[in-house]
Amino acid sequence: MISEFDLIARYFTRAQPGHPQVVLGIGDDCALLNPTPGMVLAISSDMLVEGRHFLPDADPKKLGHKSLAVNLSDLAAMGARPLGFTLALSLPQPDQTWLAGFADGLFALADAHDCALIGGDTTKGPLNICITIFGEIPPGQALRRDAALAGDDIWVSGTLGDARLALAGLRQEVALDPAEQAAAAARLDTPSPRVALGLALRGVAHAAIDISDGLSGDLGHILQRSGCGALVKLDALPPGPVLARQPQALQREFALSGGDDYELCFTAAVTQRAAVLAAAQAAGITVTRIGSIEPAAGLRLVDASGAALDLQFSSFDHFTSP
């Protein structure tokens, strides 16, 4: 059986050319990181727990991707540039096929974002993956949740709801053909963190959040922290291509409250519409205007004709959701 230190050396230690921000990587008591002078550090942790965030038979390569993707998504939502990350891994046994697949998925995404693995911890226990990511941002330019202003447009990137639809397909709550299931599952298993969009929105957007628990709940965090409310045009929400073939009621529910999309929801002044579209084009992603920020608290939903809709979809919560 492979030892703890051989495991770290074989699967997680690599030569790291081209990462000038890493002064010292894996192998000492601490990693040493050198942010660009004058920049503020952005730090976030996300944990993935077997049986909670993924099934015991989850493909390790996809799991490696998703573990890092959810952390990169937090940097994206802040407008931060990735620098590096640590990996705390608890494993029932050192299964080398699993480790090789996990490392493959992890490093493919890390390399795509020039984000180095700089350290971590490895222990025996229930399968649990915790990544802490470090990024940098110019002072005063973070896309904070408390920065929305009344009158702002509300935007979302990409499309919503296909990740939730994949889950419904897996649970056989919705009948999907194999091609639809595969297309939707790609959104659930290998989300694309919108890092380039987050960077392009610096100085353009006011507030931003990544959509991990569902748009209504995540937008609700912006509203609460910014002390305002919102009007959202339900039929303006961009459904994922697979969800778009489902009945309208399901499209509305999953686009509004399905989780795991990892798109960005952000607000920007009406005068910034052209700048938002230019940022999205530069980042290679579509953006859709879905409503506006209003002074009065609460989230108001309207249909295409402007009539109020009284829909209550709750977002995911680890302690109160079923």
Given the rule CB under 6 A, which residues bind ligand ADP?
Answer: 8, 12, 26-29, 87, 89, 117, 119-122
Binding partner of residue 28 among ligand ADP, Mg ion, none, CB cut-off 5 to 8 Å per kind: ligand ADP
Considering the complex, what minimum distance in angstroms separates the CB of residue 29 from Mg ion?
Answer: 9
Distances (CA, A) of 77 to 39, 114, 128, 135, 292: 17, 18, 24, 12, 19
Residues 110-169 contacting Mg ion, CB under 5 A? 121
* Nearest distance from C-beta of residue 48 to ligand ADP, angstroms: 14
- The whole-angstrom separation of Cα 279 and Cα 81 is 15
User: Whose Cβ is closer to ligand ADP: residue 14's or residue 225's?
Assistant: 14
Say how many residues touch Mg ion, by CB under 5 A.
1
Closest CB to ligand ADP among residues 110, 290: 110
Instruction: Classify the C-alpha dihedral 49-51-53-59 as positive or negative.
Output: positive
Tell me the β-bridge partners of 136. Answer: 41, 81
Q: Which residue type, as a one-letter code, is found at position 100? A: A
- Output the smallest distance, CB 121 to Mg ion, in A: 4
| 4 is a site residue for Mg ion (CB under 5 A) | no
- 50 or 294, CB closer to ligand ADP? 50
Q: Is 140 exposed, middle or buried (0-12, 13-18, 19+ CB in 10 A)?
A: exposed
Nearest to 234 by CA among 216, 222, 217: 216
With CB cut-offs between 5 and 8 Å by kind, which of Mg ion, ligand ADP, none does residue 119 bind? ligand ADP
Rounded to whole angstroms, what are the CA distances from 66 to 37, 70, 131, 174, 209?
A: 31, 6, 11, 24, 18
Contact 294/150 with Cβ under 8 angstroms? yes
Nearest residue (CB) to ligand ADP, 107 versus 155: 107
For ligand ADP, the closer CB: 87 or 230: 87
CB of 27 vs ligand ADP, minimal distance in Å:
5
Q: Where on the chain is the footprint of Mg ion (CB under 5 A)? A: 121
